[in-house]
Structure 1
Amino acid sequence: MGTVGSSTDGVAGERRRLINVAYRLLGSVTEAEDAVQDAYARWYGLPRSRREEILSPGAWLTTVTGRICLDLLGSARARRERYVGAWLPEPLPDRTEWDQAGGAGPTGRADPADQIVLDESVSMAFLVVLESMTPAERVAFVLHDVFRYPFAEIAGVLGRTPAACKQLAASARRRAEAARAPVPATGRADVVRHVKEAWESKDIAALVGLLDPAAVMTADGGGLAGAVLRPVEGGARIAPYMVAIADKAPGLELLERTVNGGPGLVAQRDGVVMTVAAFDIAGGRVTRIWAVRNPEKLRPWVWS
């Protein structure tokens, strides 16, 4: 991606875009930051004469970041086989929302999560679909369909022909179509609010009415926080499970907060975020709940 004589002024300004690309490829803020740091290290490790020959430093950094992410995705499957329980992407807060709420909120220190644009391509439903793709499919699809990179440039990341990259993106697109038709935010927010109220009042019947009969709840504790190791299936099973959680956690406060760009719930105790839950909704009912409890994945939600 790009050669021949250019100033490297402004190369640091590429970080925000690279973090956005890497998070969507990896589903992890921490790994995205590490990948981008690695790409910059390689950039500054080039001889000055070589850097000056590169026409587009941003394109070069994107290629390198994409290749690093591709390698990480290739090894992720083996790492996740050793992961305790279900693996979910790291949830993202909307820091402006916390600021508007006043008082305590996620810490004011610089955080790569703050640089990620919250749109439908970071919804938990979408990221979970991305997890079902092969590494090459995911890279081709994210770079082309989300960031609009041409297949000729994606070919340089994947080491394949543009035609092969186009086929990979098309295959991935078919898997992603189901996550591309979200319920309007207002409708989702209303359902999530009703779930919060029923959860707080421990009203199992109300929860069952809000959950699709075939709903699935997946929790990620990573072995570091209590969480069911396998998905809980069926609204009639999820509702009593949610109430049992509330019974075991006196003093837990539920907050309506944006999670990965959509309405979600945050459970905190004594000002410490314990759980971040994202929802998928269809037909006025919750079809999926993703509850992240692994404290290592809640770092962007750490309070000051």
Structure 2
Amino acid sequence: MVNFNGDFFSEDTSILKHDNRALKYGDALFETLRVVNGTVFFLEDHYFRLMASMRILRMEIPMNFTLEFLEDEISKTVKENGLENGSSRVRLSVFRNEGGLYTPVTNEISYLIESNPLESPFYIIKDENYEVELFKDYYLNKDMLSNLKTTNKILNVVAGVYAKENGYNNCFLINTDKQVAEMINGNLFLVKGTSIKTPPLSDGCLNGIIRKKLIEIIDSIDDLQLLEESISPFELQKADELFFTNSIAGIVPISKYRKKKYVNTVAKSLLGKLNAKARMDSLN
């Protein structure tokens, strides 16, 4: 069952109109959330990112669009799908209502919430091969719109097709300065010695929730140094470890890039701290 503006429909029901602006212009935002036993991980962070993004895109935020309202709508959607006692992946999409061409006739919005089961209630790392490549056909822009989680993801889609066609698990995406900005579906971290580097938001990467949480964790560890600095493609093969983060997987280690193979020691040590942070957040 999917939740469209508070009403529930079966997944095979036609809900959206042909002139939906998310379909026609990518005029939409989305949040992907991890929900465990009815609790949304890092809900406040997702909520405030969504509100800030809606303001940037000049969408009208309804008066009832409070944190408590969205939490309740997510909870109801999870229950409608029988997942309240398990783990689920929830996608909340917000799009401007129909009307207009590039210029909309209204800034009022609608929302759609979907929920699907996940295997584990915790973030886990699977010891498996994960090979990636550099995607060089198209580039990310270095601007604020690239930081937003919009449905304008055609670059990520084409990179995903490229990875699939060539037998890779993922790709690095580069910006217009030819710096590595992110992965297809997450924020990149590079480990060299006791330093951990991640691209700054000014390089065009997504303003990721788990990126933010991991920066907080690393900053609290005396033996590690967190650097928000640009990463050149040349640095990738000199790194000790490479991993990326997103709200569903948590931390995903990269095992191979071209001829270089990587360990996942730091990634595994950070994973336990990330799980602990998620548990503490859910109790507050």
The TM-score, its normalising length taken from structure 1, stands at 0.28
| Higher relative contact order, structure no. (Cα contacts within 8 Å, ≥ 6 residues apart) | 1
More helix, by proportion = 1
